């Protein structure tokens, strides 16, 4: 009996090499497509709850399964709730992603008049917040002379910000909106500094990407040589692994 091991031919090695290369890639992109995807906050529209350069995790599966490419749904098993913070494709440029809060659901009548918002005739209650030290996120975003309030949408209580200097860029005349079928009315928490449904209309359900759920990383500045990488000297450690409300 021979103790010499037979040598594997090249034809036996290639499938193993290919599987080692492609299987992790397939698992990674499947996870990103179906479960979680990362985004970076580019603007102040969700201040004080989300700051520029917050890195967030978005739950892709929460409302269903979307096609690998394009809009719509392969399977849809739940709907956004009032107060959810959602990421979606901007209706006027689908290559751009926006993040806003769901204010109006299908069939709702939304009335906006400056700081006041009514949903089906019921005024959303705003409670003034004056002491930023009570919440880390609020403390980091707090800037006078802006005004800050607690607002409750559904089961979610969150901060909203009204900056007097930015009010001039917002048309403050009363407006009424009807939310159609398979659509949502969305607004930024930085109410006088947000391009949202008040300007471009309802958000079609097919453009939803998922619900923003966690801040997993955050920094004040990005590296000049690599603008997609956080400057490690400017980390906001207090915001790491924070739940988005």
Q: Which residues are catalytic?
A: 45, 100
193 vs 146: CA distance, rounded Å: 11
CA–chain centroid gap for 131, Å, is 26
Q: 210 pairs with which residues across the strands?
A: 87
Of 45, 51, 245, the residue nearest 139 (C-alpha) = 51
CA–chain centroid gap for 245, Å, is 11
Q: Which helix (H) or strand (E) holds 32?
A: helix 10-34
243 vs 245: CA distance, rounded Å: 6
End-to-end CA separation in angstroms for the chain: 70
Q: Is 19 helix (H, G, I), strand (E, B) or coil?
A: helix
Q: How far is CA 186 from CA 128, 203, 235, in A?
A: 22, 7, 30
Quote the strand ranges of the chain, DSSP E.
36-40, 54-59, 64-65, 75-76, 85-90, 93-104, 109-113, 116-119, 122-123, 126-129, 147-153, 156-162, 175-178, 183-187, 203-204, 208-218, 242-243
């Amino acid at each position: 009996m021979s103790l010499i091991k037979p040598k594997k031919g090249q034809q036996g090695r290639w499938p193993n090499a290919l599987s080692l290369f492609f299987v992790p890639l397939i698992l990674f992109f499947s996870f990103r497509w179906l479960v979680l995807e990362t985004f970076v906050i580019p603007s102040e529209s969700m201040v004080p709850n989300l700051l520029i350069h917050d890195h967030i995790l978005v739950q892709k599966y929460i409302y269903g399964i979307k096609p690998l490419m394009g809009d719509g749904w392969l399977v849809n098993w739940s709907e956004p709730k009032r107060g959810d913070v959602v990421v979606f494709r901007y209706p006027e440029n689908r290559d751009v992603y926006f993040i806003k809060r769901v204010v109006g659901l299908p069939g709702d009548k939304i009335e906006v008049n400056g700081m006041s918002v009514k949903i089906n005739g019921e005024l959303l209650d705003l409670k003034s917040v004056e002491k930023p030290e009570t919440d880390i996120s609020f403390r980091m975003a707090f800037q006078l002379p802006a005004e800050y309030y607690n607002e409750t949408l559904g089961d979610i209580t969150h901060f909203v910000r009204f900056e007097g200097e930015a009010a001039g860029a917002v048309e403050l005349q009363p407006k009424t909106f009807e939310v159609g079928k398979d659509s949502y009315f969305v607004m930024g928490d930085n109410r006088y500094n947000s391009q949202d449904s008040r300007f471009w209309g309802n958000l079609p359900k097919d453009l939803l990407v998922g619900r923003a759920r966690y801040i997993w990383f955050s920094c004040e500045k990005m590296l000049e040589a690599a603008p997609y990488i956080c400057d490690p000297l400017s980390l906001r450690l207090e915001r790491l692994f924070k739940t988005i409300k």
